[in-house]
Amino acid sequence: MSLRIADDAPNFTAQTTLGEIDFHQWLGDQWGIIYSHPADFTPVCTTELGRTAQLKDEFAARNTKVLAVSTDSVESHNGWINDINDTQNTQVEFPIIADTDKKVSTLYNMIHPNFSTTATVRSVYFISPDKKIGAIITYPASTGRNFSEILRVLDSLQLTAGHSVATPVDWEVGQDVIISPAVKQEDVEAKFPKGHRVVNSYLRYTPQPNK
């Protein structure tokens, strides 16, 4: 059965370019992103892994670990990393899972048989520190991911996990957010001391609480 938002993130052990890992143990109390690639030595994947490496400090600032997956071997991954580093002017330092038995790909529904029975699609799973699925994004092999959007989703998940707010359409960090309908109007002033504005009974804005 496919994974859904708020489901437990399945644990697994796997061989990676940084050695064997137990996923939950490796993640610890941090946020995580696990994402899949159709194959090594392919052009779109090369740009994506390069971009991930370039964003190392951005993920670290968000207390987030990144883990990539494809069904190729560790040896293949290591050779590919040399190409990524060279062509993308970066250093890949995060682990890439060698999912040759497709165990992880199957657990996370990354193989879509109508697309391919062997290669994964471009799935992205956001994992919260309590090991729950926070969000899922899936792209076809022909569409490279937008990492600005991945960071934006991560920022929204982390913000809304700690405050009674939601992020509106096209929200970016620093912009106003929406007060949850569950917060009674008489409690808003105490809960959101930065102020708020009321559009109607269910649409109320407040400055981003953690900025």
Q: What is the tens place of the pLDDT at every residue in 33-87?
A: 999 999 999 999 999 999 999 999 999 999 999 999 999 999 999 999 999 999 9
- Where exactly does CATH 3.30.1020.10 map onto the chain? 163-206
Predicted pLDDT of residue 36:
92
Q: Domain 163-206, CATH 3.10.20.30 — does that match?
A: no
How far apart CA 40 and CA 98 sit, in angstroms, is 10
Low-confidence ranges of the chain (pLDDT < 70): 1, 117
**How is residue 18 annotated by DSSP?**
T
Place of tokens 């995580």: 32
The answer to whether 45 is a known catalytic residue is yes
- Catalytic pick from 9, 45, 159, 177? 45
Is 205 in contact with 178 (CB distance < 8 Å)? yes
Predicted pLDDT of residue 102:
92
Predicted pLDDT of residue 1:
55
Cβ-based neighbours of 30, under 8 Å, separated by 6 or more: 63, 64, 65, 129
β partners of residue 68: 35, 96
- Where exactly does CATH 3.40.30.10 map onto the chain? 13-144
In 3D space, the residue among 35, 7, 9 whose CA is nearest the CA of residue 22 turns out to be 9
Provide the edge-to-edge strand list for the sheet that holds 204-206: 165-166, 177-179, 204-206, 197-198
Predicted pLDDT of residue 113:
80
Predicted pLDDT of residue 52:
98
Q: Is 73 helix (H, G, I), strand (E, B) or coil?
A: coil
β partners of residue 65: 32
In 3D space, the residue among 58, 21, 27, 20 whose CA is nearest the CA of residue 9 turns out to be 27
Q: What's the CATH superfamily of 13-144?
A: Glutaredoxin (3.40.30.10)
